[in-house]
Structure 1
Amino acid sequence: MEWYPLGTLAAALFNLTLAVVIYKRQRNKRANLLLANLLIALAVWCFGSFMVNIASSVEQGLLWTRISHIGAIFIPSTFIHFIWEFSKPRKNKNNLLMVVVAYLASTYLLLLLFDPSFISGVSTAKYIGYATEPGSKYLILIIFLGLCFVSGAYRLFYFYRDTEGYRKQQAKNFLFSMLFALLAVGAYFAVLTTSVAIPPIENFLIIAFSGAFSYNMLTKRLADIKLIVAKATLFLAYSIAVIASYTALSALSTWVFFRHAFEHSSYIPLLTATIPFAIFAMIFPPLRKGIISYIDKVVYGRDYNYRQVIKETSEALVSILNMRELLGFINDTVSHNLKPKRLYLFLKDGHYFQVKAFSGVASSNRKIAKENALIAFLETERRTMSLWDIESNFSEEIKIISTLKRMNAEVIVPLLAKDRLTGFIVLDEKKSGKSYSPQDMEVLNAIATNAAIAVENAHLYQEAITDGLTGLYHHKYFQFRIKEELARSHRYHFPLAVIMLDIDFFKKINDRHGHQIGDQVLVELASVVRKNIRLFDVFARYGGEEFALLLPSMGEESMEEHYKKVSSIANRLKKEIEKNKFSDNKINLTVSLGVAIFDGKDPQMTTAKLINQADVQLYKAKEAGRNRVFVTKVATADYLYEVS
């Protein structure tokens, strides 16, 4: 079997496989089923052509030529029907009539199939077995094909022009895919009219056409087919160039260095083939990455850096669940890439939208009420806008423009999750004094879309691991973190401390002032403790009026160093709480603290034992008169030490 029939068979099997897959998986989508019908017609045409390629007699060649033309006859009508269904928001009687007329024309041509005036015979032809000898009525099929192709392209163009979003991109990709069909026809006629051996290009173009059409219709993650083709072509060209260069260089080096040693050896060809292969195998992964990066720069041009920012930001935002880390990342990413003089990141917090992150010389205490006209405006417009856009198109919105000018806002970016405004980003003018470009606005839109979802996820995660009253981590999360930190302590022999903190005589506060005041005391105490511990310490509400703190060491601290640090923090907490007044009733509080410090050297130490050791010290602090700190070192020299 020669290479040309193989290409025809490959095209037939490819189209048939695609059609079967679509029939089985897309039964409820009419446009997809019509696409499958088109693929079946293409498969019939290609399989018939394959049989013509391998026919052993004129009679067989003529029979399979007529069978292949069954597919050719129904390609135009199924194509028109698919285009009509795809663009049916613009359907009208003329479009429906065109589909009916197309099927009637296909039926008429089918009746002419065995008429000599349609196909008069076949003649032997180089590469393709037998060529069709058209009759006088064969011109009808050519005109029919041309009319359907042109009308389909015309219809797609107007659909592309009049629609927006995802469907617009689909229509654009369909139009581009149709170029493959045109090229396939041109390649087929080139085979018929030239004596030069031409590879079965038209078969591969048919595969490209049907593959691009199917991908464009079925995929949920639409890509620009033109870019895919450009990138694939460049990658192939660069890869061939690199392989050729390294092979030539390695073969030359082998010949220069080894030809005297192996002058009479038959292993020289093997050696010259193996060395370049080994070198290329070693360098291919980083080389491939470099080639792809370079191709992206060529294909996307000046947009490459913007696309990289969008890609890297999207990947990072998906993985961040800690709200503080997330807000810092959004703030740093926008500031680094767009370089505004000032930036505010507002998030919804109760009745207000408050600044949660900022950069530049900015105020962190700004807040805007939900009823503010700016909030209603963002919920309505739902898009990134510059101050110039708002002044030009919404000049009557004086309050909104005034609010933006007070913040020195040059651009405002809404953060929308599940159709709700969860926050917005305000950017001052650029440090360079230049205006924000369309690419800058595209980057902001992409970051905002992903940031809004990430903020929503972080909120949900925060709610899942925090106490609803105080906003501290809850008991379950504390248990999760202490397991993590104890495992780290065991692995690296780093010290780890647990502090159990209990409010003295809290029941009396509830009995005398009521539970609402008691709740207010808990919230304010949590705020005081937060301000006096390190950023990475874990502070949780353990239960009722009891709190727990987890204080890991910073790197390779000794037990004594960590002991001094933890003791200092515990004592400071006791003193800060003692000197503060809590709630509207100005209540004085004292607390008792039990501290257990583990040196990381006892493999039998468990979380339960460590917490129990801190609990024991807490009870002893209470027995000693309350308002005290008791510390124990665990697994070195178990002893008690009262700090104050």
Structure 2
Amino acid sequence: MAPPRPGPRSGRARCQDSRRDWVREGQCGAAFWGEGSAHCPATGVSRPRAKLHARGCMTAGRAGWRIAAAVVVVAVVVLNLVGYLEGSRSAGLRVGVVINELEAGLVVTRVAPGGPAERAGVAAGDVLLTVNGQPVRSNEDYDVVAKGFAPRRPITYVVQRGPRTLEIEIVPGVPMEWWPFLGEVLASLVFLVLAVVVAAQPRHDLRTRLLFLFSAAVAVELALPSMPMVGRQAVTTLATVGFYLLSGLEFALELHLVLMLPEPPAWLRRHRAVVPLLYAVGVGAGLVLAVLYLGDFHRWPVTTGDTSRLRGNIINTLLPVWAMLVIGLLAHRTLTHPEPSGRHRAGLVLLGNTPWAIFIFATSLLNVLGRSWPNWLHVAQPFILLAFPVAVFLAIYRYQLFDIEFVVRKSLVYTTLTGALLLVFYASVGAGSVLFSQYVGGGASMWVVAGATLLLGLLFTPLRQAVQSVIDRRIFPERYAMRQRLIALAADLASLGKLSLMGNHLVEQLREIFRLESTTLLVADPTSGILLTLATTKTDLDENFGLSFLLSPDDEGVKMLRRANRAVAAAPLIQRSASLAQRLTGFGVEVMVPVTSRGSVIGLLLLGPKVSGERFSAEELDLLNLFAHHVASVLENARLFASATYDSLTGLLRREAILDLLERELQRATRYGRPLTIGMADLDHFKEINDRFGHLVGDALLNRVAQSLQSGLRSTDAVGRYGGEEFLLVLPETDLGGARAVAEKVRAMVEGITVPAGRGHTPPVTVSIGLAAVEAGTSKGPRSATALIAAADQQLFRAKERGRNRVEPSA
């Protein structure tokens, strides 16, 4: 994209004569077209504003890109400041005329309506003879005199008008062109923001490098002083030469960037000469234009005669071709790309380039026809440029253009919206009250205005909420849908009742909503505060701790989470806690979300990486924080309720609960003559493991064994923690033979458990089980729960005596 500048940077417009076309637009204050126009009516040539995009060093690291971005920021700020200072200085020295160096001498060809020259009596066709007593026969002569101009100090022109010689006194000074200047500043800052966003990315490929250099160069070019500068010949020369060179580079570099969007086509790899050809054409054209300009203005011997018409023809040919190629390539990718996301990316960039292309076609046509640009077109030009960065930002945000991450935070949009509504509100009240008071006088006017103000105040909040809702659905549809699903999930949890069902449902839904590889929920024990695994979607439990994942409330990482009270990436937590680092790394955790209640961590969400490999956005983390806040009370109530029935460490039934169940099953077996078997299971050498490796490892072992016991039993069976490392198994409708098979299965599962204990140690885990039964249809066997437990406990003692890691049924 290379939209034309509001005026030639050299401070000279181009008008054709048989000898030369020098148009004085700056040094003498001859800024008729420089005061809002880039078009010379004699040549039909306009200077385009181009966008630079250079390849740069393809091996530069992230720090190098950040340094480059910092340099660009400084350059844009300094250039904008220089533009303001020079623009305001030169405005006080301009008189509002356009002069040409013709055969008759320096001829006034245009006079700005209402300007100082017109007010003093200068007319088109006057031949300038002297300025402040100094003869002027060429542009160079005028440059020397113009350096002595001062704001508001009269200038004496001696002009020849037909047969008469007139002496005219002119007081220089015209208003500064604020709208074009502010528009260019705004456009340069927006492109600068785009460049900084791209430079801040952790990964760079050719496409992101091109986009960074392109955006940075546009920002710098838009910041270059574009208003006529009086007495600054060297600066104007450098700006003009730079313009031509950058225009040539940008022709090639933007087409190169478009060819890479959304990814390089296959034919580009087969025809490798295309890209070098683009650079050869673009750079060659830029060099030719620069040499022709220097030859004209500085009388270089490489050119003869006037070249302004040739330069105008080159520009008026290059820009439309450039625009057609850009639009054509983007349109083709938009219509033919196989992936919807690719079509959307190309379509958005096409949409951003379309205003610029229309602008190029329209202004080039005006130039060829020799027509002047309307003044509104000069004011609108920098705002037309904003379509491109806005489209790129949308492509980045909605479709991850070039895999760039950029988050448009809803809080920023809402703040902007509220500010706009407030401006509309106060403008309506202020303007409305003035207009109404003009037509309705007296006290009635005051009451009507007060009533209207009150009505607007009452409507402000509903209107803001309605517009925010529209913004959520239209601008943030994915976030809106995600938030609605999280709200529904939080509402569904309470209806599930049991804590275990809540946990399983929560982790499965979170994994689906955010498309994660794994999700785990830890819940704190109400007594000890130790965080225990409640539910997980991990499948490789044996290799990565599985359900034995425990965290102490005194862990430094947990303390950091409690203080932060928000979602935190796993990386900084790993640096704070060695034990947590081991667990997080093994469990594949990328983000941890604390669930807090009354200042305590009652739960912890461990979120694995996304399946797509994308990072969590800031907006997603905010949604997770909000979700954790909503489910905290639900989990807290369920946790407290479950603590009365279930053991907090193992998640199994507490001793009282399993004994109550045993009493009920025993009464049913006795009444209906059905079989019932119980088992007493005890971990072997648990005390030694606890003493050697610590209570956290011991607790993890108990938790893991409990889950293995529970998963090894049938749906009709029950297991509870009887005390310490002892577990009670209740197997209804099961005789001693069937119970022995179930117990052997459970024993084998426990034997396969591995719980890393640090420093490469993995203690062996085995269990001994004693069985006792009530036989079906007989009076044999114990008839009370106490007797049945005693019998099973006796068989457990026998299993211990016979070497442990075995099942001993009663005789």
Instruction: Mark the structure with the bigger radius of gyration.
Output: 2
- TM-score bracket for this pair, using the shorter chain length: 0.3 to 0.5
Which structure has the highest helix share of the two? Answer: 1
TM-score after normalising by structure 1: 0.45
Q: Which has the higher contact order (CA 8 A, sep 6+)?
A: 2
